[in-house]
Structure 1
Amino acid sequence: MTRPRASTHAAFLLVAAGTAIGIAGTDLVLPAIPSLPAMLGGTAERAQLVLAAFTAGAAIGLLFFGEIGARIDHRRLMIGSLASYGLVSFLCTFAPGLDALIALRFVQGASGAAAAVFAPGMIRALYGDDRAVRALGALGSIEALAPAAAPILGAWLLSIWGWRASFDTIAALALMLAAIILWRRDLLPVVVRPVGSGSYAQLLHNRRFIGHALGYAFTLGALLVFVFGAPTVFTNSLGLGLGAFVLMQVCGITLFAVAANSTGHLVQRFGEMPVIVTGTMFAVMGAAAMLVYALVGGASLAVVIPAFTLINLGLGIRGAPGFHAAILAANGDDARASALVILAILMTAAVGTAAVAPFIGAGLVALATGSTILAISALMMVGLTR
């Protein structure tokens, strides 16, 4: 029986809201990172671990939800995940010091991972593979609003109520969405893979899946490593302030959204792989341009923003088809495949952020170097998909 269009779109918005709230767990907190050492003790370098701990914790949650998603109704798991994510977010406001906050952030990341794992499978069930790329592009655009809007909201909350306000906001949004899904869970499709079909081991031996998964993860990682360190670098090294960071984010996310909404048409006209390769090349060019400019001591937004938006353009072009190609390569094991793809993203971001953190004092050079290495690595992964 065909679902009514309004019900399909309502279900899509619930799924998108769940993933966006998970993303807000990083971006809403970003503006507070430079001020945390003064509030909770510690150093600027250690404060970066507040971001890395969240992504590392989410990695554990992804594997957990990806595995039990083959056994339990995804709707029930999303409700439980959002509820626990909200409660742990609230507990973060009581952290007595930076180390305690880092530990809670690990748990926060692990508890809120379900929506990201189940979103691709639910979208395929809602729209079918013929419209999945376009739907995933729309999902990416909606999710992109979180990195664009969350730092602005986070900066405002920080200026009015302090660093705890961001965590209170995340808690309220997560608990509210959990209640809405509990009330209208009939809108979401039932997606349960038969027990015993597929495994993480099988996916890890699937060359095409690994190539698409790592190619997508490294491209997004090239962007995230830069974004995670940018508030500290803009504030401490470049003297540009958080307003400059927000402006850069808005420009980048706007171009990303335009590209992501065009990717369905590009795939239909040119094919999936040419679009993936082209997008990856744009990301490499943007990161490399940023690195060259940083090495000559540049610090002007007139150059930083165009280079940054070029990375966003590349990700927007190759994001949805790359994710869809990875899911298709998994031969129906959507939940585990999604878990591994996002695990690769978060571990790339966590390791990249931790690797760059000791050199954050070097400013733009450190961030641009990490971003360039990851973008080139993404291009190399294309070879595994042939």
Structure 2
Amino acid sequence: MTRRAQDASGSDAAVPAAEDEREVRRRCRRALGVTTLGLMLVLVNTTSLNLALPALSASFQVPAATADWFLVAFMLSNTASILVFSRISDMLGRRTIYLAGLVCFTTISLLCAFAPNATALIVLRALQGIAAATTVTNTTAILTDVFPSDRLVRGLSLNITAASIAQMIGPALGGLLVTFVGWQALFLVNVPIGILAVALGARLLPKLSRTRGPEERFDVAGAALSSTGLAVLLFGINRIGPWGAADPRVWTAILLGIALLVAFVLVELRISAPLLDFQLVRRPGRGQAYGAAFFNSFCRAGVVVLVGLHQQMVEHRTALEAGFIVMPLALLMMLCAPLSGRLSSRWSARTLSSLGAVLVVLGIVGLAGQLATAGAPLLLMTLWLGLIGGGTGLFTAPNTGSIMAGVSSDRRAVANGIRSMLFNSAQAAGTAVALLILTSWLGSSGVASYAANADDSTVRLGFAVAAGAMGLAALSGLVLSLARGGPWRAR
């Protein structure tokens, strides 16, 4: 491989470019390794907590409606913070914000392990979600900065592979630690990993010069409206279960959240330096890709929570056993994500993502039937979860690559921030909707806590209905993936 340069006399000369190529590869490997470690830290913590709900309910002696907040508080604050940190990162530098967030996440994890009561833990989880937003926001943006455009999908696929490993390790590790040590260990294990991630990031992440936009002004009004609107809306959705759908507080929160988000959109359309650049969404195909990513995340988050609870409440398995049963979803994600990277040179994002979405729909339909059936073979559960995971692995990297393609360097964190906000909003909404349907069903059956054993047909039907709602979300994602248009084969 060579590049052209001019010698001292002004004539062209062929100069070996092997050294440049080695430097590019080295920078890519370092950025991928460091950001992957930070992302895995956040994901392992998030997914391991899913298996700890029964243990936390018993430890703090709280009902299911309160225990939900050990998950929901993190999701709400994380989602509400993503757009804010996206803009701050583009203004101040992605490396700086990324490392500062990891320091805060690690410190708060230590505090969570010593939370004296449920209220303190919920508050700390909300703060932890804010800190995690810096990692979620900047991982893909940093990789887009470092990787050449023709290698970006492959780099993203490797990052997603590692994320899949984290999601596979998380439930198993969570079950293991809860069963043999206690829920406190779920937070203590973050501390040494967080320290390592900060040290490596400070040493290896490149200090790239930033391309400033025409105005480097922070959108305070947009930040306040977006974060408050998202938090209030998701809060209202979550409260339908414990308060009831007819409670005026529920609809006040939902309508207020919607009103704040509408006001946010109106503000963003009128100012010159918006927190959310709608030009990014208007590009043909990108809006559909954003929507498809939302519904894929929505259904997958709900499935993981439902299966973990089903195996403990209905099948009477331990948290450790439930963690291993959920593992095929992440395992197939891990195996299929690199495959999508290799296939991206021949097939378009529309083809690969839509094929993945089809597999997710089929897997959730099969899983719903499995959850409703008493004594169904565990092998079938593994098959359906593997199908969902494999489909997600095929879907994610090409879909993310199509979102990030063509975004200028000064808007990459914002572009990825929109994707991350939708991803996390979907996780929060998917988890809330799944638990809402489930807790409503459990309440009608006289089951008050996730720590209870309940294996009657009514409870099984509740799990199946909740899974069916996740299937409708998966189908919506498939429709949007197909609707993005464009060729089926890569150009």
TM-score by length of 1: 0.92
What whole-Å deviation, never above 9, does each CA across 1:125-150 have from its counterpart, x for those lacking one?
32211011111111111111111112
Q: Could you give the per-residue CA deviations for residues 28-81 of structure 1, whole angstroms, max 9, x where no partner exists?
A: 323322111111121134323211221221112311210111211211111100
Question: What is the rounded CA distance, in whole Å, between the counterparts of 2:83 and 2:209 in structure 1?
Answer: 17
Give how far 1:166 is off.
1.0
Please give the secondary structure, in 2, of the residue aligned with 1:269: coil
Q: Structure 1, residues 131-174: CA drift from partner, whole Å, max 9, x if none? A: 11111111111111111112222223223431111111113322
Matched, 1:188 2:206: yes
**Structure 2 residue 473 is matched with structure 1 residue 374:** yes
Tell me: CA distance 1:189–1:153, structure 2 relative to 1, closer, same or farther (3 Å). Answer: same
Instruction: Tell me the secondary structure at the aligned position of residue 51 of structure 2.
Output: helix
- Which of 318, 333, 340 pairs up with 1:263? 340
Please say if 1:158 is aligned against 2:178. yes
Match of 2:429 among 334, 337, 351: 351
Structure 2 match to 1:229: 306
The answer as to whether partners of 2:27 and 2:146 remain within 8 angstroms in 1 is: no
Return the alpha-carbon distance in structure 2 between the equivalents of residues 172 and 344 of structure 1.
Answer: 30
Give, as a single letter, the amino acid of the residue that structure 1 aligns with 2:210: V
- Quote how far apart the aligned CAs of 1:191 are: 6.0
2:440 maps to 1:341:
no
User: Relative to 1, partners in 2 of residues 1:293 and 1:28: Cα closer, same or farther, differing over 3 Å?
Assistant: closer
After superposition, give the CA deviation of every residue in 1:188-212 in whole Å (9 maximum; x if it has no partner).
Answer: 2526342347741423555632211
Is 1:321 the counterpart of 2:398 in the alignment?
yes
Using the alignment, how far apart are the partners of 1:294 and 1:161 within structure 2? 30
Whether the 8 Å contact between 2:158 and 2:338 is mirrored in structure 1 is yes
2:287 to 187, 210, 215: 210
Greater percentage in helix: 1
Farther-moved stretch of structure 1 (253-262 vs 224-233): 224-233
Q: Provide Cα deviations, 1:311-358, integer angstroms capped at 9, x if missing partner.
A: 111111111000111122655521011111111111111112112213
1:284 has 2:361 as partner: yes
Identity of aligned residues (%): 21
For these two proteins, the number of residue pairs brought into alignment is 384
In the superposition, relative to structure 1, how do residues 20 and 196 fare at CA in structure 2: closer, same or farther (>3 Å)?
Answer: farther
Residue 161 (structure 2) aligned to one of 119, 123, 141: 141
Distance in structure 2 (CA, Å) of the matches to 1:52 and 1:307: 26
2:385 to 297, 308, 311: 308
Q: Quick check: 1:169 aligned with 2:160?
A: no
Q: Separation in 2 of the partners of 1:271 and 1:4?
A: 25
Aligned to 2:151: 131
Q: Is the 8 Å Cα contact of residues 147 and 249 (structure 1) preserved in structure 2? A: no
Q: Which amino acid aligns with 1:378?
A: G
Structure 1 residues 35, 278: CA separation in 2 closer, same or farther (over 3 Å shift)?
A: same
Q: Which residue of 292, 297, 309 corresponds with 1:220?
A: 297
Match of 1:293 in 2: 370
For residues 24 and 148 of structure 2, the distance between their equivalents in structure 1, rounded to whole angstroms, comes to 14
Shift of 1:243: 4.1
Query: Cα distance 1:38–1:296, how it changes in 2: closer, same or farther (>3 A)?
Result: closer
Q: Give the AA of the match of 1:80.
A: A
Q: CA RMSD in A?
A: 2.2
The change in CA–CA distance for 1:165 and 1:12 in structure 2 (over 3 A counts) is same
Unaligned residue ranges in structure 2 (runs of 5+):
1-19, 216-272, 443-458, 486-491
Cα 1:50/1:292, change in 2 over 3 Å: same
CA positional deviation for 1:366: 4.2
Whole-angstrom CA distance in 2 between matches of 1:143 and 1:57: 21
Deviates further, 3-12 or 188-197 = 188-197
Indicate how the Cα distance of structure 1 residues 61 and 161 shifts in structure 2: closer, same or farther if over 3 A, else same: same
Partner Cα separation in structure 2 for residue 55 and residue 193 of structure 1: 31
Structure with the bigger RCO (C-alpha within 8 Å, sep 6+) is 1
Matched, 1:254 2:331: yes
Shift in Å, 1:19: 1.0
Q: 1:189 to 1:214 in 2, by over 3 A?
A: farther
Amino acid at match of 2:424: L
- How many angstroms apart in 2 are the aligned matches of 1:99 and 1:230? 27
Alpha-carbon separation, structure 1, partners of 2:107 and 2:167 = 22
Q: Distance in 1 between matches of 2:31 and 2:373?
A: 49
Read off the aligned partner of 1:158 and give its amino acid letter: V
Report SS of the residue matched to 1:233.
Answer: helix
Deviations 1:336-386 (A, max 9, x none): 111111111111111121122133333431441232122012112225523
**Cα drift, residue 296 of structure 1:** 4.8
The answer on whether the counterparts of 2:174 and 2:323 sit within 8 Å (CA) in structure 1 is: no
Distance across 1 between alignment mates of 2:127 and 2:331 = 31
Distance 1:367 1:323 in 2: 27
Q: Give, as a single letter, the amino acid of the residue that structure 2 aligns with 1:195.
A: G
Give the aligned residue type for 1:352: G
Paired residues for 1:40-119 under 5 Å: 40-119=60-139
Letter in 2 for 1:358: L
Residues 157 and 196 of structure 1, relative CA distance in 2, 3 Å threshold: farther
1:37 paired to 2:57: yes
